[in-house]
Amino acid sequence: MKNYHIYGIGNALVDIEVEVTPEELARLEIEKGVMTLVDHERQEYLLDALPGTHHKKACGGSAANTVIGAAKLGARCFYSCKIADDELGQFYAADLEREGVTSNLSQLQLEPGSTGRCIVMVSPDADRTMNTYLGITGDISFEQVDEAALKQSEWLYIEGYLVSSDSARQAAVKTRELAEREGLKTALSLSDPNMVKFFKDGLTEMIGDGVDLLFANHDEALLFTGAETLEAAFEALKRFAKQFVVTLGADGALLWDGTNPVKINAYPVEAVDTNGAGDLFAGAFLYAVTHGYSLEKAAKLASFSSARLVKEFGPRLSAAGQDLVLEYLKEL
């Protein structure tokens, strides 16, 4: 038996969630519904300018949210990332450990600098808009990869956001190549429409000859394949992954299990915050496939988990939400 079910690599970002109105986003010239990279000065300006309610901060980054979601269901997870020797970095390391995820952080001599931070702005329609200052996480490299832990893992999970930094992209490629040589299954998320729009070639490099499992939402799938319809995008994605899932929001998800398409129905809920929903979808899905569930059951668990999450503020399930997901898992 391997030591870890899932080995994740991604950005280390401290998430700060803020409630905003569309008018505030427009006034501050923030593109709604996507992730935008900003510098430190711009982020400080936004934190001062946004009058919304600030919710608690949490260790984040897309892949971090994914492995935390899987760990809370019972998966053994390892996470590679990069933080600075500052207050946010210390907070990040402690919070990640508290969430039950083993990481490379305890083994490293931390460097001076600024730990990455993401302002997550949630509008009344439950949409999430992110402005991210990468800080030191933009310098993540293969040095942050624990090769021994990777070799003792069943799956490698890569977040597509790594594509925005040359060193991070190269680290992702090298890690995938090592994982393939060691016989791991590989999974990647396209992460965000802007990543696909501006870094499509880099994402293609990260995917290489094809991953075992790819996660995308509707817009990402169309942008990445250049298709005009979901049906055409679905067909084109078969070139990049043995199996994949395209999430469709309130319309559920469409799964390719390697042989047949499978429609996964959504669970109707009143959404208040979609931050982290895609990350948890991937985490619940990976938990299920590493614990003997079929891909269809994995997608159902993922859909239910993300539906529970969007009923609450923040990228993590509450204790009550977690209990409901665990009860659902017993019935799968």
pLDDT score of 177: 99
Which position has the token pair 């083993």?
102
pLDDT score of 57: 86
Angle between the N-to-C axes of helices 277-289 and 295-309, in degrees from 0 to 180, rounded to the nearest 10 = 150
**Could you list the pLDDT tens digit for every one of the 332 residues in the chain?**
899 999 999 999 999 988 899 999 999 999 999 999 999 999 999 988 887 656 678 999 999 999 999 999 999 999 999 999 999 999 999 999 999 999 999 877 789 999 999 999 989 998 989 999 999 999 999 999 999 999 999 999 999 999 999 999 999 999 999 999 999 999 999 999 999 999 999 999 999 999 999 999 999 999 999 999 999 999 999 999 999 999 998 899 999 999 999 999 999 898 888 888 999 999 999 999 999 999 999 999 999 999 999 988 888 898 898 999 999 999 98
Closest CA to 191 of 234, 232, 221: 221
pLDDT score of 54: 61
pLDDT score of 153: 99
Amino acid identity of residue 144, one-letter, is: Q
Amino acid identity of residue 324, one-letter, is: L
- pTM greater than 0.85: yes
State how far the Cα of 38 lies from the Cα of 40, in Å rounded to an integer. 7
Q: Give the rounded distance of the alpha carbon of 196 from its chain centre.
A: 14
> Which CATH number, 3.40.630.30, 3.30.70.60, 3.40.1190.20, 3.30.465.10, labels domain 4-331?
3.40.1190.20
State how far the Cα of 178 lies from the Cα of 156, in Å rounded to an integer. 10
State how far the Cα of 311 lies from the Cα of 273, in Å rounded to an integer. 7
In the chain, the N- to C-terminal Cα span, in Å, equals: 24
State how far the Cα of 208 lies from the Cα of 239, in Å rounded to an integer. 11
